[in-house]
Every structure is written in C-alpha cells, then in structure tokens.
Chains A and B, each alone.
Chain A
Amino acid sequence: MKSQIQLTLKKIPDIPVEAENIKPENMAGKTISEIKAIPILVGKCWEPAGDWFDIGIKESPESDSEKPVIDLFIKGDLTRFKRIGEGMSQGSMRIDGTVGFHAGAKMCGGELIINGNTGDYLGAHMKAGLIVVNGNAGHYIAAAYRGHAKGMAGGTIIIKGNAGQMLGARMRRGLIYVTGDCGDAPGFNMKAGTIIIGGTPGARAGARMVRGTIMLLNKDNLPELLPTFTYNCTYTPSFWGIARGVLSKMGVQSEAGTDLLFKRYSGDTNEGGRGEILISA
C-alpha cells in the first residue's frame, strides 16, 4: 500500500517558521487529523500544521517495495519555512515552490526534490540520501554549521540552477553537482568528497581544501586559481566516466563526453596539497 500525502500552503506566514517536523516519516501511517496536529514553530509559538496547510491523503494500491513508501507533496511558497525535511531518513518528499534555510539538513536517507529555489544551508551535515533542486540554491550548501569541522558526510546533491557561495564548505564525503554557476569559495576547507560545477565558479575555488576533488566542466571565463594550487598534468581521469554514468542515471546529462581531458591542479598547498581541481582542457 502506498499512501500519498499532499500539503498545500493556505497562506504565507509573516514571520519565520521552523518546520523540522514536516518530513515523510512523521506523516507515515497517520490520519488527516493526526497530520493536522503535527506541531510547527511559528515565531515563538507551536501551532498545528493544519492551521497552515490543507491536507489530503490518497491511497494508491501499487507498491514497488515491501516497506510502505510515503510520498509527500508540498505546494506553496515556503520561503519562510526553515528546516523542512531536516533529519529525514526515508521516503520521498517533493516540494513545488521555494523553500527556506536548512532544507534537508542532517538528512540521512530518502529523497528530497525541490521544484523551486532554496535558501542557505541546504543539506548541511547531510549523511545520506538525494536532494535534487530544480532551481537555484543559496549559500553554504552541504556545509558545516558554525564551528563544526566537518559538513556533509555522504549522499548526493544535484542543483540544476546556480548555487551561492561556500558551496560544500568543509564537506567530508559525498557528491555535489551544480549545472549552473556558483559563488565564491566552492569547496572551502573541504576534507574530501566531490564537487562538479557545470558553469563558472566564483573566486578562490578550493581555498584551504585538504583533500577531495573539484571538477570545473566549463573552461571559459574561469577566475584565476589561488597561487597555492599547482599544475600537474592533463589527462582523462577514469572516474569521470563513472561519475558521468551515475549522474545520467539521476537525470543529469552532461554534454561532455567520457573522453574529456582535464588539467589537474593540486592544492591547497597550505593544507598539505592533497586536494585536486580538475579543469576541462
């Protein structure tokens, strides 16, 4: 049995809302009235979700796995809603509209699809799962919160628009793909993991990176790399073919072929120089 839950925003709140309770596992197996009672923090008051959303449940008989899979659809401008899908671990959630800060932060499984723009700290400290943004994303995507040494620890984030500054700052593992451009300092102090940028990055890519890979698929209009990065060689890494295959399975088709040549730069020398930036030649 597969149940589909539909939330439609009634009105845009005047003040910020913290909605970490809106995630698939909290809705699982609940009736409409139970879902309506789920509390969300509006300003400083806890209010039932039913005050803000129209809620509908549709049961569909087909099921492709033994576990009940919950599909959650949310519709509306959720710019003021923070922490949607925070810590979600299963199921899939689709949001048609813009979402606020911290969407999918600390996520450890499941799938979050956002058909709209997102705020900052998307997928911060995420451990596993998939986030797809069909729009632009804010700053600090997959980053570590203030003071923490390690951010994203696994999973995949695909952004089909542009991304803000400090993309993947301090990430430890996982994959970020941005079709468009991104702001300054992508991969700042990243510990490991992979960032692929289809468009033009801002200044200081890979500043303080310890390990990990940043791939820049567009060689035009690139800002100068930091002086702590040194040129090594031009080659086609074998993993590019694998990454391309994985991405195409997720619906991201790269125009570049499997035999694309990359110039490899290693750095940041200040941090030991074990990271790499690959720029398509």
Chain B
Amino acid sequence: MLRIINGKVYDPVNRIHGEIRDICIRDQKIVEGPLPPETEIIDAKGCVVMPGGVEIHSHVAGAKVNNGRMLCPEDSADHFRAHTEILRSGCNGVVPTTFLTGYEYARLGYTTLFEAAVPPLKARHAHEELRDTPILDTGCYTVMGNNYLVMKALNEPDEISRREKLMGVVAWLLESTRGYAVKIVNPGGVENWKWNRGLVDLDTPVPPFDVTPRMIMTGLARTAYELKLPHPIHLHTNHLGEPGNMAYTLETMKALSGSRAHFTHLQFHSYDKSKRGGFASGAVAIAEYFNNHPEFTCDAGLIVFGPTMTMTADAPMEFSLHQMKGGKWSNLDIEMETGSGVVPIKYQPDSLVNAVQWCLGLELMLLINDPWRVFLSTDHPNAGPFTSYPLLIKLLMDRDFRMSWYEMLHPKVKEYTCLHDLTREYSLEEIAIVTRSGPARALGLKNRGHLGAGAYADVAIYPFFDDKQKMFSSASYLIKDGRVVVRDGAIKESFSGRALGLELPVKGELAGDLKEYFEQYSTVAFSNYRVEEEYTPRPELIRCG
C-alpha cells in the first residue's frame, strides 16, 4: 500500500487539472481510500503527478529492430552500459537493446508500450524481445496490409462470404500472433514492389489477387469494427515520404471517412509539393480535414535532429531512401506477408527537406485542435529516438524556445511552412493527454491513462521546473503496479510487465480454401504457425467490444 500526497495531479480523464490530491494505491490498483495510517507515504510536494505514459507507436522489438541493431554495431559500441546489481547491461544507441529500452522508457515515466509492426511470421521473435523489455506492459500490432491470405479473402466475389472469410483471417492472425491491433503498412504497395511494379494508388490492382489498396484498407477497417477491436486499424498509408503525398493521404481519409482509423506518423504523409517539386508543409489542409472528422486519431511522428535509424515494413520506401542516400541498407522479404527495410539516416537542420519535416510535425501537433486525437510520437527510431520526448515536450510548450530552434533551420524553410505563425503552447494538461490519457483511450485501455479508482497503479511523478525539458527528462518517481520502480531518475527495481492481448468475440478460423492455400505455399506448417502461450507468461487480455 502506498499513498502519494501533496502532488499537483493532472488526470484529464477524471477532470483533475493540477489540483493537490492524494493518490491511494492498494494491490496494484488505485483505490478511493482511505488507507490505514501506517501506509507508506510518498511526499510529492513541488511535483506533478500524472498517470504512467502510454506509447502508442514505437519500434522496439522484433526482426527489423534487431536488424537495425546489427546494422550499426558502432552505435552500440559507443553507448555501452555496464550492468549493476539491479540492471542488466546493454547498449543505448539510437536502437537501444531490449532491457535498456525498458529502463529508459521507465525513466521518462512510461509504463505501457506498443511495438508498432510485427509481421505474423516474426511474432515469436517480437514476443521474446518484448518479454525482455522490463517494467513496461507491452503489446504489438500485427502487420496485415500485404498479407496473401487477407488479399485472397478480399478477392472473393461474393460479399457475404468475403466478409466472413476476412473476419476469420483477421481473427486467426491476431490470435496466432497474440497481436493487439491490425497494422496496415503501405497496403498493396509492398506486394506490388515485390512484383517489380511501380507505386500504387488507391485503385491500382495489386498482383497476385488483383485487390486494390482501397479494398484492403476499407475491408480491414470494417473487419476491425465488426470484431469490435479496442483499437481500430493502425494505418501507415501509401506514398510515405514523397513530396505531394498530402493529396493521397486526404483521398485515403475520404475513403475511410465514417469508420474509425488511426493514422500513424502523420508527419511523413502530409507533404505538399512546392513549385519546383520539392517538399512543403501540407499541415494546414490535413489538420483541417482531420479536425472535422472525429472518427480519426493520429500520432505525429515528430522529427528529432541527429543520427537515427529508419525501419519499417514499407520496404520500397526504404529502398528508395537507400538509393537517395547511399550507405547501409538492409532488406527482408517476409514471404507471403510483407517486406521490411532498415536504413540509418541523419536529420540535419541545415537540410531544407529535414527542416520542413521538423516544422511539419510540430504544425500538425499545434493545428489539430483536439489533443485527444493527436499523440506525441517520434515513430521511434524512424523520426528520432524516444529519449528525445522531453525536448519535444518543451518545443510544444514553449513558443520562444521553438522559435529559437526555428531560427537555426535552413533559411528557406519559411517559404514552405507556417510554424512561425502558430502561437499555441501546450499546457501541462494537454501534455498529459497527448502522452498518456489520449493514447490509452485510443487503444481502448480502460485501466490505464488515468488515476481514478480501479486503474492500474501506474503513476509518474515529475519534479516541477520551468524548463520542461529538464522536468520530463527523468521522473522523480515511477510507480508501476504499485511498486516504486524509479526514484530520483534511477531504476530501483526491475521486473517483467504484462503482455497485452485480445479476447476476441469469435474464434479465429481460416476458411477451407485459405487453409489449403497456406499449407501449399507457406514455409511454416499450419500447426506451427501459432505463437504458443509460453511466449507471453503474464498475459492480460482486453475484451473486445
């Protein structure tokens, strides 16, 4: 049992806006109180108390993340950390090792984490690494946008049987991979590239089943709705990182309007085209459309200047990035499911393209009015490492600081962006929404992201400073499941978190022809495909609906 007193509590879900409140914890949960007088007390005087952070989109475990680590051994060698009595050793470069990922997220006050893209065949690997990511409760999204079984089901001419088959495939994939949500990466585009064809548009038929990206996205969005998944489709649209892709993103939004969808790292999909064909910010148009469509949520994918690593299942994008930049590149073809690529990269303020990207991410965060629908992310490590969140929070909360960075950018950036016109500054409450309460709501996690009775006792306590970067860079306390994990920025205890999964309303079963197809072409036997429950020793199943 634990009581936190004298802290300024920010709990947007329960409408507590910086009031001094006591938080009572009993048996891993937050309770109304009162607690017996001999209860241990944490005095949070001069501190800000928030729910534990919820990371909605981050690449921290699985095949491509490991590829990223292997691709840059020099980065690991430069950031080696020895073990201590409590902590394991590891390397803390742009792609930290599993244990350090857990420790560093905990030091920033995060308690829940979702790995953003797991191809079904690589799910075992991802779960093994998530199990080794301590302290945090973790889950993962299953990549389906280029899956042969999904596309074959969508190719079914009869509508009713199409819906049934698709629902069976999606449920089966989620079940067998122990995934939490449907992730779609460049739907159809990766498969089209594998057939040595060009880029896809919404209505390009993609071999071998001649389904279009529109069919894949709308079909999966509908299935996610019918399965009552807590998180809707998690969508990385086509044409990532191309100038002028804003028009395509708007078209995709129109195609999906009316159904729930999460647009991930929206910054990479909101470029306008300048007269010369270069990059310009399309934040105004995207934010305007987005503001009028309450069914959508997004995370920003803010750029952080410095070296980092891009890794995604969007293999064609990584290939063109490699052709543009030279240097290292790794590519994986995941047979009937997806592709993936890894390219190290460095974002530089004196590069006009990077400067536009940097402004665009912040513009999206500032122009989208409802903080409950836009979340802080760097698409770690694609746009920057998650360890830069304190810096990004300060950029959002302090316009003068933002402008001092703006002055350092490529001088032409003013022509292509509107960041200098935006005066909005985030409040502490809004920061609490975009980093914890909002993502928790979008993910359908009812016991996280708030401090009301019944919620898990995941509490982050930050020392109050005017310098918000300093304030958020290391938590005074982090309490996870009622145990004090971080004290004064140092990890005091380390244990495995829960594995978040789904309790689906239907049993996932493949239709006969799909099963036959799978057995004919997959390198893995049908009976070996499913990830065994031993891979998630501490499961927590979230009920759908």
Contact = CB atoms under 8 A, between A and B. Distances in A.
Could you say which of A146, A147, A149 has the most chain B C-beta atoms within 10 Å of its C-beta?
Answer: A147
A148 interface: yes
B327 A149 contact: yes
Nearest to A271: B326
A147 B73 contact: yes
Contacts of A145: 73-74, 77
A148 B72 CA distance: 8
A146 B327 contact: no
Contact of B71 (A147, A148, A149): A147
14 contacts: A145-B73, A145-B74, A145-B77, A146-B73, A146-B74, A146-B77, A147-B71, A147-B72, A147-B73, A147-B74, A147-B75, A147-B77, A148-B74, A149-B327
Contacts of B75: 147
8 tightest A-B CB contacts, nearest first: A147-B74, A147-B73, A148-B74, A146-B73, A147-B72, A145-B74, A146-B74, A145-B77
B381 to A, nearest CB: 16
Interface string A134-155: 0000000000011111000000
Nearest to B71: A147
A148 B77 CA distance: 10
Contacts of B77: 145-147
Interface in B117-169: none
A149 B75 CA distance: 12
Q: How big is the A interface, by class? A: under 10
Contacts of A147: 71-75, 77
B511 to A, nearest CB: 47
Nearest to B327: A149
Nearest to B77: A145
A148 B93 CA distance: 14
Contacts of B71: 147
Interface of A: 145-149
Interface residues of B, number: 7
A270 to B, nearest CB: 12
Contacts of A149: 327
B273 to A, nearest CB: 31
Interface string B72-98: 111101000000000000000000000
B404 to A, nearest CB: 32
Interface string B327-346: 10000000000000000000
A44 to B, nearest CB: 11
Contacts of A146: 73-74, 77
A146 B327 CA distance: 14
Contacts of B72: 147
B323 to A, nearest CB: 15
A146 B73 CA distance: 6
B219 to A, nearest CB: 42
A229 to B, nearest CB: 21
Nearest to A144: B74
Nearest to A146: B73
Nearest to B75: A147
A274 to B, nearest CB: 14
Given A145-B74, A145-B77, A147-B77, 11 more contacts: A145-B73, A146-B73, A146-B74, A146-B77, A147-B71, A147-B72, A147-B73, A147-B74, A147-B75, A148-B74, A149-B327
A146 B76 CA distance: 10
A12 B72 CA distance: 35
A146 B72 CA distance: 8
A148 B327 CA distance: 11
A164 B74 CA distance: 23
Contacts of B73: 145-147
Contacts of B74: 145-148
B118 to A, nearest CB: 26
B327 to A, nearest CB: 7
B348 to A, nearest CB: 16
Of the listed residues B71, B73, B327, the one surrounded by the most CB atoms of chain A closer than 10 A to its CB is B73
A192 B73 CA distance: 23
Contacts of A148: 74
A84 to B, nearest CB: 19
B152 to A, nearest CB: 41
A237 to B, nearest CB: 29
Interface string B60-74: 000000000001111
A145 B75 CA distance: 11
B247 to A, nearest CB: 37
A254 B327 CA distance: 38
A147 B74 CA distance: 5
B402 to A, nearest CB: 33
Interface string B447-476: 000000000000000000000000000000
A149 B326 CA distance: 12
Interface string B390-433: 00000000000000000000000000000000000000000000
A170 to B, nearest CB: 11
Nearest to B70: A147
Interface string B24-61: 00000000000000000000000000000000000000
A144 to B, nearest CB: 8
Nearest to A149: B327
Nearest to B344: A147
A270 B441 CA distance: 53
A148 B75 CA distance: 9
A189 B327 CA distance: 12
B140 to A, nearest CB: 27
